[in-house]
Amino acid sequence: MNAELQLLTEINNFAQSTPWLHLPMLLLSSYAMVVYVVLWVAAFWIARRRASPSTMAAVIWAPIGVLLAELVSQPLGQAIGEKRPCRTEPDIVAIGKCGKGSSLPSDHAVVAGAVVVGLLLVSHRLLAWVGVVAALLIAFSRLYLGVHWPHDTLAGLVLGVAVSLAGWLVVRAVLTRLAAGLHRTPLRPLLASTSARTSTATPAAQVSG
């Protein structure tokens, strides 16, 4: 037994011995996108309070980065065609459905990695840490449920981070200019809170006075 299979077997044995964790892990895995949406709304709220075009640009990029990472992941997974451990290893028992898609990379982990990049770009320490913990828990849930190999989740996290970060570096300047332009339109109340608009308008009023 190789080291990776031994690790997955130990996780699977732990899963079988903790039936009280099955439902939380299934819910976390099944509704991971709901967790990400809540985190994105929190990031948007932070960006709105700051009234910063660069922060709002990062918030705008976050879902785009997730979509881009998924667009890269899907054909890659189909090309690799790795089978899930719950289908190839008789000792690995799936908690819930095993799934029929490619095991490598884990789509859940890909999305998790891309989401973490978006949250880190917002530069809010607490939110970023919450996002990292949530991403790791969701990635671990795929191992706990027996539907992915450890290298699937690791590769997924790395791929999600790499694609989202690379894309951000390419479009950062354009999105920042777009966000700054939107701040000068009737959409400004949506992009900046009342307190943020007041604090940014006060210095301008002082200068003009």
Confidence of residue 205 (pLDDT cuts 50, 70, 90): very low
Q: How far apart are the first and last CA of the chain?
A: 77
Q: Dump pLDDT digits (tens) for 119-138.
A: 888 876 788 889 899 999 99
pLDDT score at 16: 93
Return d(Cα 130, Cα 116) in angstroms, integer: 9
pLDDT score at 195: 57
pLDDT score at 117: 92
Q: Dump pLDDT digits (tens) for 131-166.
A: 899 999 999 999 999 999 999 999 999 999 999 999
Confidence of residue 196 (pLDDT cuts 50, 70, 90): low
pTM across the whole model: 0.85
Return d(Cα 56, Cα 116) in angstroms, integer: 16
pLDDT score at 140: 94
Higher pLDDT, 145 or 184: 145
**Mean pLDDT of all residues in 169-193:** 83
Q: Dump pLDDT digits (tens) for 44-97.
A: 888 888 878 888 899 999 999 999 999 999 999 999 989 999 999 998 999 988
Element (H, E) at 206: helix 194-208
Measured torsion, CA atoms of residues 68, 70, 73, 77, in degrees rounded to the nearest 10: -150
CB 103 within 8 A of CB 83: yes
- pLDDT of 203 > 60? The answer is no
pLDDT score at 50: 80
For tokens 């980065």, name the residue.
Answer: 65
CB 117 within 8 A of CB 58: no
